[in-house]
Amino acid sequence: MIHTVGLILNKKKADAVRYAEKAKAFLKEKDVYAFDVQHNPQEIIPDLIVTFGGDGTLLNGARYAMEYDIPLLGINLGTVGFLTEEEPKQLEKALQAMISGKYQTESRSLLKIGNPKTGETFFALNDAVITRGGYARLIRVEAYINQKKYGVFTADGMIVATPTGSTGYSLSAGGPIVEPGMNCMIITPVCVHSMQHCPCIVSGKAKIRLLLRPEREQTAELQVDGQNRGTLEAGDEVFVSGTDKQIRLIRLHEYDFFSLVRRKLVEWGS
């Protein structure tokens, strides 16, 4: 039974605010308490999370879904919406199916990201990125896979993506589209300053080490699912690996990944 629903919305979008209020009213009629997870002074743990926005908003909701180990449903108010499941015109129908338990969940793999300098650990549904950010020069990153040197890249940045994240930033940087059920990670250089572009797909069990080369002064930013997670300096390193931890996306319809790719990329391109 569903008793509480956490809501995540992009409050800069009027449509997101309107549909979130509509969802709260509908759920209240069904004796389900809905609240804004990001402003939760009572620290209530919801039974599931619903996001209102695009994939960026869903990735924000994913942080809470990972923390609480609960499923996640995205209502698409964005441009592309690879991760979101339902369109807003079907909102009440989707909510009714959700509280009636008439849905399936699809598990997606995550990345585990370690920053030895700060001792912090993060989890990502889409990707971990070392980027030059506002730094004027290209950065030099040395990449290792299972303690074996892969290469040194002079670039705007380096992306390590999950199969889920392969249709995000990695794709924009020239990386491959990877079916979500694959157990792998994708390493994609961003605007690399050489002929050494070649994205690389490695096992989901691989251990990746990215070193910001120490031979010159340079800084970079560590971003996890689009969120800035700290500044890196020359000599700093980041470790990325797979993890047994997963996230569950709510599916109300049969999921056809390749049909979705065809449709969304045509929408995106136009």
Residues belonging to the active site: 55
Q: 65: part of which helix (H) or strand (E)?
A: helix 55-68
**Residue in the block written with tokens 């370690």:** 114
How far apart CA 123 and CA 63 sit, in angstroms, is 8
Q: Extract the tokens encoding 69.
A: 């180990």
* Contact present, 161 and 190 (Cβ < 8 Å): no
* Contact present, 15 and 88 (Cβ < 8 Å): yes
Residue 137, CA atoms < 13 Å, CB-side half-sphere:
8
User: Residue 258's closest CA among 124, 175, 165, 167?
Assistant: 167
* Contact present, 233 and 135 (Cβ < 8 Å): no
User: Residue 162's closest CA among 106, 198, 111?
Assistant: 111
In order, the DSSP letters of 50-97 are EEEESHHHHHHHHHHHHHHT--EEEEE-SSS-SS--B-GGGHHHHHHH
Angle between helices 91-99 and 14-29 (to 10 degrees): 40
Q: Extract the tokens encoding 154.
A: 């002079």
